[in-house]
Structure 1
Amino acid sequence: MTAQQTKTILLTGGRAPAALELARIFSRRGARVVAVDSCGPFICEHSRHIVASRRVPSPRFEPEKYANAVLGFIREQKVDLVVPCTEETFYLAQMRDQFLGDCELLCEPIDKLRRLHHKGDFMKWADSLGMSTPKTQVFTKEQNIADKFESVKAQLNSGQPFVLKPAFTRFANEVIISSDGRYEPFDIKAFAGGRDLVYQQFLPGRQVNTFALAHEGKLLFNVAYHGDWTAGKGASIHFAPVDHGGCREWIEAFVAKTNFSGQISFDFIQEARTGKVRPIECNPRVTSGVHLLAEIPEVYDAYVNKTPVELSFDRLKAAQVRLAMVTFGILPNLRKPRKLAKFAWQFARARDVVLDTSDPRPFFYQFYIYQHFMRRALLKRVPLQHVAIEDMVWNDDVLCMQPVSELEARGA
């Protein structure tokens, strides 16, 4: 790649291991990669593949300042392409008009992203397109609280296996799963409060996670994987690739019918009885499936030139977040020999997504980041995952911002 052809790519959400993975993939193809994030220390700051980085205000708590800082950095670094890597995606999508003329923002408009991210609206949309989905009912925040309470209670007491969750959630937070129709008593009225709730048919089977990139309704690549090891009951920390034609067919049809462009991820259940797959949620952003693509340089061409990637299954290698695997895999299973043996076998055969001998600093820096967030979690008495994302989570937040002028974006 010549100096004239060199692309400058901005990764937002530079705290995410997924951002580090993309930085390495893009940089090795000759791109100039820069990064921003709104948390204190973030892992991309110390990668040799990042030529410039900046800490910016929180998109959730200071959206106008965030917009000013990001746009200023884009113009300063002459960015060609912005690739969001965490839930700041939804804030950036609301700033789309301000990016026009400066660079390409790799995400759809906010109305489309919201429809995908809302766990009930996504199901309604997919169902309306003739796609296979589980039975789903949405209780909206506009409903009278008493009526909503009675409706939710009636469904829970129907004796049917179910999943109950807020429309916007992550890491499986506040998700109630009953595989037999029974459940532990909880404060339904408080849980049902001022937000949309999604009541969904429970599907017995194995979960399959996916990550894909599409452009104007055409699938550029797709990977599927099992995430058997998780941090708590939510985010996967081990990623074992699977060759799954059923998932690919579903995704290919969906992105075509919605004319989707950008990064998109789906979680499916492969039903134990029939072997068929049905989606349980959509995340219209990058997820951990990107780690399976570390040795696929053509991924750069998919992002920059919208070129489809021919992915044979034997090119995909298992990956893991090793520090999290030690924390959440070994300690809870010390008295479970069979599970510990399975853990040891998978742990030994998967590469660490952070460790790279040609780019070693992020590996050592992650321990500082871990203790930074752990200390904050202990002080606030909340889970580690909460403090790691509290400044950029998106729960249908609507931004009311004045247009950002060029002078403001430059910090004048």
Structure 2
Amino acid sequence: MALDHARRFHRHGWEVHIADSIPCRLSGWSSSVTGTHSLRSPRHDARGFVADLNQAVTARGIDLLVPTCEEALHLSRHRTALPRELHVAVDEFDKLAALHSKWEFVRIARSNGMPTPASSRVRTLAQAREWARGRAVVVKPEFSRFGVHVRLYPHGITGDAPELPPLGDWVVQAFVAGDELCSYAIADRGRLLAHVIYRPAYRLARSSSYYFDPVRRPAIHDAVAAFVRGTGYSGQVSFDWIETCDGEALALECNPRATSGLHLFPFAADLPTALLGDGDLREPWPAKPKMIAALMTMAGLPAAVRNRRFGKWLRDFQRADDVISVPGDRLPPAGSIGDLASYSRLALLQRCSLREAATRDIEWDGEPLEALGA
């Protein structure tokens, strides 16, 4: 998302700087980027993170700060420690924290007319089993990302299911069969300024998608607009949906940050102005599918061959554009290889997965965060 934002800001005449607490060659090597800045981890060194940001903002005369992942929560929490004149594209922390919680989101969604599956908050598998009463359910940590630790029980929770690991509260939710959809939006003080809906057509297992197929669903658009209006939301916000066979769309969870729907907007769409809170609603339609071509080849192709769906894979590949390699900006793919090597080293040192190594420095799982500068 950082690379995509960088390219479109550059296209609209901005000077773009990238800052991160882990290697960011994928974005930093783009011809759209003027400079890169190293930050300390907001999760592990909040004061250092704020000091590094303030130094970069002051030295480079930064006007607008746009988060792309869970650093949005840390930026919101420490907003008062940053220059008052700096525009930070996030909402207030309490609102983001509630939406980041998969349990609190259900409450907020329902109070704003957004339909969700029946849900409950539990601590143990026994509590989840008692609530489910043999029904098909999904069990997931209250705070998680990219589908990590999510359990799917389409025939009810089995007798030999392992106990839930100690990750705090969990949410047990009625399993609803249907078509998975996602939406991405930009809002300002309750006004919807950009919106797109897409199908995550190819995934890494049940985790992140690498193929983004745009669709139109008026009911989802109206639900997002009502949610944004009812909460007075500002910033980027994304939702995961399930669409049943009769066309009903239910919201599963919320990500109060950027997601891959960003890729579906043409560079001509003035999203930088939307992030400043100006302009009318932007919707990319008709829109062409986008993909991460390297993953489509390395992960999607073998799976398609195994499942005898090569023809469909080929048609999908041919109708989509890559979001990493674009004409006139060819270094980011090489940068991604360098980043992968760095994440591998971090994963070995921290004894964690590559995915965890790439996000561990910015994650927030509901623990208390002292507000700096308040």
Give the TM-score range, shorter chain: over 0.9
**Match of 1:164, SS?**
strand
Q: 2:305 corresponds to which letter in structure 1?
A: L
- Report the equivalent of 2:241: 268
Q: RCO (CA 8 Å, sep 6+): is it higher in 1 or 2?
A: 2
Q: Distance in 2 between matches of 1:400 and 1:301?
A: 31
| SS of equivalent to 1:227 | strand
TM-score between both structures, scaled by the size of structure 2: 0.94
Q: Give the deviation of 1:26 after TM superposition.
A: 0.9
RMSD of aligned residue pairs (Cα, Å): 2.0
Alignment of 1:24-103 (within 5 A): 24-103=7-86
- Structure 1 CA distance, aligned partners of 2:242 and 2:211? 18
Tell me what 2:255 maps to: 283
Cα separation, 1, equivalents of 2:185 and 2:32: 23
Q: How does 1:160-175 map to 2 (within 5 A)?
A: 160-175=135-150
Distance 1:30-1:184 versus aligned 2 partners, 3 A rule:
farther
Aligned residues: 374
Contact 1:63 1:399 in 2 (8 A): no
Q: Output the CA distance in 2 between the equivalents of 1:312 and 1:402.
A: 38
1:210 maps to 183
1:400 aligns with 2:370: yes
Q: How does 1:124-203 map to 2 (within 5 A)?
A: 124-139=107-122, 148=124, 150-156=126-132, 158-183=133-158, 185-188=160-163, 190-191=164-165, 193=166, 195-203=168-176
Which runs of no fewer than 5 residues in structure 2 stay unpaired? Answer: none
1:369: which partner in 2? 339
2:295 to 303, 312, 324: 324
Range 111-120 or range 294-303, more displaced? 294-303
Letter in 2 for 1:153: R
1:107 match: 90
Residues 118 and 174 in structure 2, CA contact (< 8 A), matched pair in contact too? yes
For structure 1, the 5+ residue unaligned runs are 1-17, 141-147, 405-412
TM-score if structure 1 supplies the norm length? 0.86
Cα offset, 1:305, TM superposition: 4.9
Matched AA of 1:151: Q
Paired letter, 1:51: T
Q: Structure 2 counterpart of 1:235, which letter? A: S
For 2:237 and 2:31, the matched residues in 1 are separated by 28
| In 1: Cα distance, 2:129 partner to 2:98 partner | 26
| Structure 1 residue 197: Cα displacement | 0.7
> Equivalent residue for 1:239?
212
For the residues of structure 1 that align with 2:369 and 2:349, how far apart are their CA atoms?
30
Question: Cα deviation per residue 1:56-103 (whole Å; 9 max; x = unaligned)?
Answer: 111111111111101111111111111001111111111011225230
Task: Give the 3 Å change call, closer, same or farther, for CA 362–227 of structure 1 in structure 2.
Answer: same
Distance 1:43 1:352 in 2: 14
- Kept in 1: contact 2:213–2:290 (CA 8 A): yes
Q: Aligned AA for 1:283?
A: N
